[in-house]
A and B are shown apart, each in its own frame.
Chain A
Amino acid sequence: MSGPFLREFLGNPNGGFVKAKVTVKLKSAVLDPQGKAVCHAAHSLGILEVEDVRVGKVFEIQLTGQDAESAQKKLKDLADKLLANTVMENFEVEILK
């Protein structure tokens, strides 16, 4: 048993947690061949109204602690260093709970 499982088993010593969502998107200047392929596939399905598709990533993250502000700061740091490559991607951090 390790990490989150252990924490769940023992209970969170700090009490409470913060749930957050980090969305990573390709910058508008970067071409997205995956999005194009999805757009073409939508047309093959007969949904011709689909005009443009950009594919991104969503990370659902749970942090211990209750302080939304500090969670926001930590997640910005995490997104900047790991979740996104800021050469090609932008990110948004959203605290849910």
Chain B
Amino acid sequence: MKVGVVVFPGSNCDHDLYHVLKEGLHLDTIFLWHKEHDLQGCDAVFLPGGFSYGDYLRCGAIARFSPIMKEVEQFAKKGGPVLGICNGFQILTESHLLPGVLLRNNSLQFVCKNTSIRVESNQTPFTKKISPSHILSMPVAHGDGNYFIEEEGLKRLEGEGQVVFRYVDSSGKPSEAANPNGSVKNIAGICNAAKNVVGLMPHPERTSEGLLGTVEGKIIFESLLG
């Protein structure tokens, strides 16, 4: 399997992601510069965290118009697996590949801490090896992670099983205290209707190596391997 990590000016989790995919999972991994017009035969595409274009205008708003995003959009529409992490998630919502939007955290603070997220769906290429209700521990690091969608859209997400991850407390409940940013219904990650495009705010690439204390995030990448 060949996988690509898109690099925008201002991406800063691209090398972490590359390292996990290449050294941790031994996949044929390449970087895809944002100005490229070709996914070079990748079987899956990753949009990393960071501050693409300095978060100017809105997080992800400018990255959406990068040449490579046209290719990513076509790839996603054909059913290709795409995972957006943190800023990658923001870019996917700005590109309308995922519904809703990520607003400023309700605390107005940049939040950098460990969270527990409950897996709500194993119907995506990035969660199919995880049993639903399983809880994973991984950090968030963002200023704009407050997921919002209007009421009708939220009903659709919940009804169609498009909520993939939810922030929960130690007892597995999506409590207000467990919600780091004010996201509606404690949503930490979602997928599109076809379930091949997934976005989440927490960072699985930061919990995929024993040296970093936990490998709980690695299963998200391993799920892709069928």
Please name all residues of chain A whose beta carbon is closer than 8 Å to the beta carbon of B105 when the two chains form the complex: 33
Complex CA–CA separation, A31 to B101 (angstroms):
13
A85 within 8 A of B: yes
A58 within 8 A of B: no
B107 and A30 form a contact (CB under 8 A): no
Contact flags (1/0) for B71-111 with A, using CB distance below 8 Å? 00000000000000000000001100001110111111000
- Interface residue total, chain B, C-beta cutoff 8 A: 19
Q: Which of A33, A82, A87, A88 contacts B106 (CB 8 A)?
A: A33
Number of contact residues on A: which range applies? 10 to 19
Contact flags (1/0) for A24-57 with B, using CB distance below 8 Å? 0000011101100100000000000000000000
B182 within 8 A of A: yes
Q: Which of B57, B94, B150, B182 contacts A29 (CB 8 A)?
A: B150
B-side residues, CB < 8 A to A, are 57-58, 61, 65, 93-94, 99-101, 103-108, 148-150, 182
A-side residues, CB < 8 A to B, are 29-31, 33-34, 37, 82-83, 85, 87-88
